[in-house]
Structure 1
């Protein structure tokens, strides 16, 4: 296999798995109202679905992502895909809500092994176009994420919710076979692992600590929509329309991340962050306070379009500052985002149980405002001189 063919094959496999990861996460979000009915649990307990998954994902990130330069990356990618298939099958067999939460944690850990290493491979395969490729990588996730809720809707027309996980597990088998047949890219020999002394060095880098702080709020906003949007929409629309709102939101990620894959190479990272932050504040307020009906659905799409570009833009900003530490920077980025995933959905669940889901969702406006403050601080402060031409 030629180097070009090998690179293309690796890209297809990495993009395919991340698409399935998106489908798994968003199928889970679409099933939250079903979990409430099947297991008869309160909103506070429903709010634990995303945090439990976050714990498993972060553990995998910390264990494997920080060791990306010391381990056989291909071997652990194979282990991840195989373990994900097994854990997805078990997830669909959960007899109680507590076991469901436990299996969600196992599935997230299994998937997290792959996600802690995939960007390292892509970064070394495409050293001259990292920002664009990483944005396209997140776009592949968005394609799968959009299809996840739709799969739930189609399956539940005729079958039980468990069939969703059976279908996804079977669909992952070709990815495992294709990965097995690939050779390890030689460029991975340049990957470095994260040593204890490196942590302080990386976190002193403005682009990296700025990335991490901002991603806590980005992860918070995304996780609230992932976990609660169908439930929130159920108070405002018919069940059919409510089930489609998450797909509308996620469908916007596809053109959004495609657009940002080009914008990230043409504009300063901080300029993009400030602009998107202001748009999100206005759109969040309009959607969650003022709008209703069709206007709300349109605003959900707008929010999805702009919020989709934040994670790839921020992680590209961090990686471009220290490209030889792609794996460790990926870990820092994901742990930061997952901190938001851990805190925000559970917080909304507690607020919703004490008040209403409509009141709880207005937390999103405050999160968007916090992001604007951070982005402006970075633009006027330590990253004021950063230009698009500075990036490799």
Structure 2
């Protein structure tokens, strides 16, 4: 295959998979109210859905992402697609909540294999435009994520929630076929794996440890919305409108990530994160405490717009500190964010069981406050004078 076509089809395969990944994750969030009724379980056990998926995802990230310079990346990506497709079908066939959790964990592992390596390929294909290509890549995820809750609504109307996973598994087949026929990008020869000796060195970089600390709170905020927003919204709106709130939140990721793909090339990473943190504190307080009716939906969009830019901005900050360690830094970033995914939704479930979902969601304001404090610390520290310029 010609070099330019090979590059084009790599982009097609990577972006198509991440789009379906977004749909799979957010379909899960939209199905929480349905699963509560289907399997007759409590908020505490529902709170395990995201952590179980996170365990599988992080396990794959650590194993495959840290070995990005040693393994056959194309073969690993193909394995990730195959496991994800099989797990999606099994989720749709789950007869019990326990099996549902097990297959969600398997789906997380399959997706984690792929996602531990996709940014590695993108980083080496576009070494001079990492911040922008990462934002566009996550924008593709957002498009799929927006469609996920809408697909759930359609599946429930046409047949049942199981149809959701059949529809999402089938498109993985042509992605597998496309990737099978591609040549490995030659620039991946520059990729290095992570050894124990490298860990202390990497984590000593301000751009990397700052990225990891901030992403812990970003992952917490995102994961609570992903799992609990539709459930919270059922206290305010009808079931259909409640599912729509998650689509509104995720739809904001599309223009948000496009905007941040430009902003990250013009402003310091730390300046962007501080500004977003301040906006989020005010917006979350307004949404969860002050607003009613349609104003809530408008604030959901605003919050989604600004949250959307945090992950690609922060991971670009980390990777530009040590570009030859793209895969390992991607692991650090995702483990940090997924730690938030592991802790925050389960905590909200426990608090909701003890009080109410409205009270539990107030934890989001505290998370935004801490994120802002972390960002301010990075801004006045060693990262305050660094601009977002890429280098290989």
What's the TM-score once normalised by structure 1's chain length?
0.99
Deviation, 1:391, is 5.5
Asked whether 1:224 is paired with 2:224, we answer yes
Deviation, 1:322, is 0.4
User: What is the DSSP-based 3-state SS (H/G/I as helix, E as strand, rest coil) of the residue aligned with 2:44?
Assistant: helix
Deviates more, 1:328-337 or 1:83-92: 83-92
The residue aligned with 1:241 is 241
Kept after mapping to 1: 8 A contact 2:138/2:257: yes
What's the TM-score once normalised by structure 2's chain length?
0.99
Deviations 1:249-303 (Å, cap 9, x if unpaired)?
0000000000000100110000100100000000000000000100000000000
The residue aligned with 1:44 is 44
Deviates more, 1:78-87 or 1:219-228: 78-87
Deviation, 1:160, is 1.0
Runs of at least 5 residues in structure 1 that lack an aligned partner in the other structure: none
Kept after mapping to 1: 8 A contact 2:78/2:180: yes
> Over aligned residue pairs, what C-alpha RMSD do you find?
0.8
User: What is the DSSP-based 3-state SS (H/G/I as helix, E as strand, rest coil) of the residue aligned with 1:321?
Assistant: coil
The residue aligned with 2:99 is 99
In the TM superposition, what are the counterparts of 1:107-256 in structure 2 within 5 Å? Answer: 107-256=107-256
In the TM superposition, what are the counterparts of 1:1-392 in structure 2 within 5 Å? Answer: 1-389=1-389
Instruction: Output the CA distance in 2 between the equivalents of 1:64 and 1:143.
Output: 26
Kept after mapping to 1: 8 A contact 2:24/2:168: yes
Instruction: Output the CA distance in 1 between the equivalents of 2:177 and 2:46.
Output: 35
Kept after mapping to 1: 8 A contact 2:64/2:113: yes
CA separation of 1:389 and 1:167: change in aligned 2, threshold 3 A: closer
Deviations 1:314-354 (Å, cap 9, x if unpaired)?
00000011000000000000000000000000000000010
Instruction: Output the CA distance in 2 between the equivalents of 1:276 and 1:139.
Output: 18
Kept after mapping to 1: 8 A contact 2:130/2:390: no
Runs of at least 5 residues in structure 2 that lack an aligned partner in the other structure: none
Instruction: Output the CA distance in 2 between the equivalents of 1:15 and 1:197.
Output: 33
User: What is the DSSP-based 3-state SS (H/G/I as helix, E as strand, rest coil) of the residue aligned with 1:386?
Assistant: coil
CA separation of 1:239 and 1:194: change in aligned 2, threshold 3 A: same
Instruction: Output the CA distance in 1 between the equivalents of 2:148 and 2:378.
Output: 35
Deviations 1:206-251 (Å, cap 9, x if unpaired)?
0000000000000000000000000000001111211100000000
Instruction: Output the CA distance in 1 between the equivalents of 2:363 and 2:280.
Output: 13
User: What is the DSSP-based 3-state SS (H/G/I as helix, E as strand, rest coil) of the residue aligned with 2:27?
Assistant: helix
Deviation, 1:2, is 2.4
